Structure formats: structure tokens, C-alpha cells
Chains A and B, each alone.
Chain A
Amino acid sequence: MMRYLLYLFLGLVTRSVLAQTDSTSANPAAFEELFGRDTTLRPGSQQLKLNMDATYDRPFLTMGKLPVSVGGYLEANTQYMQTNGITEGLSFQMRRMTIFLASTINRRLKFLSEIEFEDGTKEINIEFAAMDLELHPLLNLRGGIIMNPIGSFNQNHDGPKWEFVDRPLSSTQIIPSTWSNVGFGIYGKMYKKDWVWAYEAYLTNGFDDQIITNNQNRTFLPATKANADRFEESFNGVPLITIKTALKRRKWAEIGLSWMGGVYNKFQDDGLVLDKRRRVDVFALDFNSTLPTRTVINGELVWARIDVSSSYSQQFGRQQRGGWVDIVQPVLRRRILGWNTAVLNVALRVERVDYNVDTFAETGESIADELWSIVPAISFRPSPTTVIRANYRYQWDTDLLGNPPARTAGFQIGFSTYF
């Protein structure tokens, strides 16, 4: 499988590069556009983009108009972390390399895929591979492996778009970003003056019971991603429904509301009843805005409700909640070291995850099992598609019982770039 993917990738890269070379020799301006100074995601075109549009809002799709477009992004970093005075030392991490392949089969028929190699080749996933068919701007069909539109980060997760080395915790610990499944659905978008409204709705395969039977010792929705069979068959035959709607006013703000719900357990097998149907429901609210000072505020709040058997341990939360807010302030925008559109940002992320919103039956006291984290950051963008970032993280992890929190802090320096 690995070898096949490698051959496919090399073949397509070769084809793409040759095509680009041919076109540039005939058109130096196009070469300049492609390899030269400016790969900016142009601000003007961004004003009507939503988080939902992230899938098709990537530089490789805007640089050339080739039969097949190839692109991707890369994320790597080093980090030094210490927990309660104990450190594992300095580590270098290859977080992920993602390859995009896309094709406009017809003006209204598109294909895009996203293949991700995480932690070297520890995990290889097809995160997105879908065909999009436009029937009407308000009615498009999408089928294949899709990213469930829950919150904002799950769809808008490309490393180069963020000033932080780590992904937001509530988006990866409650929402299992990147969370993609096989299924189909519809989406549409409508513009009216300064307003944009869009929706997405999908039926896909969903979760399995690993969300409460995992080695994290807590309810942990990402544990379901260990079920590789979910791209082949549903765990229980009940589709997961994901619906999102978002509204944006140009130069003002975007707000999105989303819900994802379904049955996670195998309630029957071979026609025999094993348990009642147990649901998992996730609600998310996302928002982003750019203030006149060019300050970008971006955030997401998430709530999850899980029907856990009363005879199972309270260790496995029946409700979870979390959220994060990023504030990014450009402090320098000018030509730096020959980079025409370089930007220096300062940024701050505050995030919280409560894995178990409940009280102990034995004492009536709150179950803790939560974390807080604060991440100041500096990022340098020589080009909008590339970011070099330095983060400092301070995190408080409190265990189930509410004992004194483990304090983790450290430094991360890394980069991420589209290619």
C-alpha cells in the first residue's frame, strides 16, 4: 500500500512538474506566479470564505489550472517539555506530511483527496477523498471519504494556517479531529450583499464503543479512530448525522453551529439484542473575526453527551465540554530579508477541556478530569503559505479526583508550509 501510494505520488508529481515547466517556459509570468515571490491567499478572496470552504481553500488549487493538481503541506517541530520538574528531553517531531490530489473533472464536477502521513509513517490516513457535484449553488452533492463538518477546526486544520504547533486540544480530544468517514451528503452556499450563508449535511459511518472502552481511562471520542473498519462498514448499521450551518458578514465575523450525532454501540448482532442503543451527540459553536486592527480572533466551543451505561464506571464521562480561543495580532508587515509579504505575529491561545462534567455518586463532589492550557506564541510568515512559529505552553492537568494538577510547560519551535 505504501509503495503504491509512493509510486502514485511520484508519478503525479512528475507529471505536474513537467506540465508546470512547459507552461512556464512559454509564460515567464506564470512561472513567477507559481514559484516566485507571492503565494498569498489574497485577502479580497478571503472575505467571503467560511471555515467550511477550507477543503477547497488551499494554495495548490489557486496556483495553476492543471488537469490534476498536486500539493500538500508539511509540519515539523522540536519541543522541550517538562512535567512537574521531570523532562523527557528534547524531541524532534515530524507531525505530518499531507498530500493533496485534486482534479476538476468538469466545471461542476470536482475531485479532491487528502492523504496524511502522521508522525513519520506511524499513521497513514485518507482524510478526504470525495467527489463534488454541483446541481445548484444551494445544492451540491458530495460523496466519498468526507470530513464531518463539526466545529471549525476539523475541516480547517491545515498546519500552515495556524500560529501554534499543537492543534487545539478540545478539537482533538473531544472532537476527534481530523475526523473523517465514508458517506455522502449535500451542501450549499448563498450570498446576499455582505452576507454569506452556507450549510452542510452528511450521513456517514460513525463511532464505535471504543469511545468508552479505551486505554485513556476516560470517555475519549478519538479512540474510535483505531477502528480501521469504519471505512468499510458501519460498526452498528446506524449512520452518523452531521449538520452544520454558518453565517458570515463580510469584514465582520463568521459564526457556525454544528451537530453530529448517532449510535455508538453494537446494540445487536446476528439479530440478537446485546444492549440498548446508546447515543453520542456533539455540538459545536465556532466563530472568527478580524478586527480593524487586523487582530484575528478565532475560537470553537464544543459539548458532547454520551449515553454511558449506569453500571459502567463514572470514570467514563457522560458529558464533556471544552473550547479554545486564538488571538493573533500581526505586529510587522513589510519586506523582510527579501520576502515581500512577510508578517510577524504575536499570538495567544487559551484552551480548556473538561472530560467529565459530572459529580461523584459517592460524595456528590464534582468530577475533575480536566485541563487548562495557555500558549503564547510568536510566528513569522515569510509568505502567507509558510509559517515558522515559536510557542510556549503551560498546562494544568487535573485528574479525576481533583488532586493537585500536574503542571506541564515547555517550548516548541517548528514550521509548517504548503507546497
Chain B
Amino acid sequence: MTEKSCGVLDEEEFYKCCRLLLQQSEQLRDGWSWEAVQGSEGYLKKTALRPVPAPQREEESGSHPQMHSTCNPSPQPPQEEQPVCVASSDPSSSSDELEDEDDNSCWVAENIGLMFQFEYHILYSCSYAVPVLYFRAFTLEGRSLTLGEVWSCVHPNFRICLQSCPLNAISQQEHPLLGQPFFVFHPCRTEDFMKPMLQAAQDQHRTVNYVLSWLSVVGPVVGLDVSLNYSLERLPGAPPCSPRQH
């Protein structure tokens, strides 16, 4: 039995999972990179543009029309009353930071001022022995979003159940490597929800990348979707995406 089957991950395995995720990301070109901080430590980083949720549109609007932009292809789209879906055959509709892997649809943000820039970091918490998602967000003018604005970007279905937690699931905290304010998904429940997932994988003799599986659970809450390609395609030449079982 590895430690994984109890829902946690040791630091070395974390780095291994990150390396594998990066290899796949490179092939899928979805923008993850590794930021090294002093020696061996570091974190995975990705930035993405997300459309501003409807209630905030009036406040943030009033800038340059144009930009036919893609946005979240998630099953939990940002809460817009009347989202417009179009087929995204136009290759110019995706920017570098913004990858739309599901090619069937995309949202049209009619106005570039209606986008937020999100920056996601995946760090390791040695206290909880799990990965932790840190993120921050800015308007395109560079103003930091408040916690309230961040919550309004969370799909209502998630919001209701997460805000009722005794310890609010999202809070502002210091990034332990950068010392700057970030929002964070509190890691104290991570072990609990990872346990059954890892157990099932073990029972079926499937190998899983802990970081990837975990990200597919927490990411969508804050608009960070994990492409199905990570799981569907066994990329040629890529090693199996799992830390070794001891």
C-alpha cells in the first residue's frame, strides 16, 4: 500500500506528478509552466482569461469593443443569463493564455473589457501532504479582484455548498513562496475527497496522477478546467501518467 491510498501525497511524489503533468501540458499546449523558487522548491503556474460574470458587467464595462474571444468550455459555465454559443472554427478565437480544448463551442465575450485575468499556482503543502491551489485575479487594467468578486466568479452550485463550510473554502492568504496575497482553496478537506478516488483507482489497477485528478476536482470551481485529453490520450512517447507505486 502506498501512502496515496490514504489520500495524501509526499513531497517527492508531488514533484514527480508535476513533471508528468508538465510533459502532457507541453503536448496539449495548455499553458502550464514550472516556476522554480530557490533550489528544489517551486510551483506549477498557468494564466487564463475568464469572462466577467454577468452581475459585474456594468461596473467593469466601457472599454474597447472587438475581440472575439473564447472562454470557459466547462460543464459549469460562468453564470451568464444568456450565453451565446458559437462553433469555434475560427483559430484566432483562442489566445496563448487561453486554450479551448473542447472544440465544440465557445462563449463570445463581446468586449475585451469584460475579461478577468486569472493566475493559478499549484503548490505543495507539507503540513497536509497534499497539493494546494492558489490563485489571484486582475481586471485587464490591473486592479486586483476582491474576495467578493472572486466568489461571484464561482458557479452558484459550487458557491452554495462551499460557502456553508465552517471554514470558508476560499480565503485570502499569503502565498508561502512569494509572500503576496493570493486566494487559496483550503486544503484541510483534500485528503477526504481524494481518498475514495485513489481507492477506486487502486481497486481497478488504474494508475492516476494525483495532482491531475485533484486538479480536475478543485480547478473547475474557479474556472480552471482540466482537458479530458489528459486522461483520454496516451500520448506517444509519454510515460504512464502516474507516480510509481512503492
A, B bound: no
Binding site for A on B (CB under 8 A): none
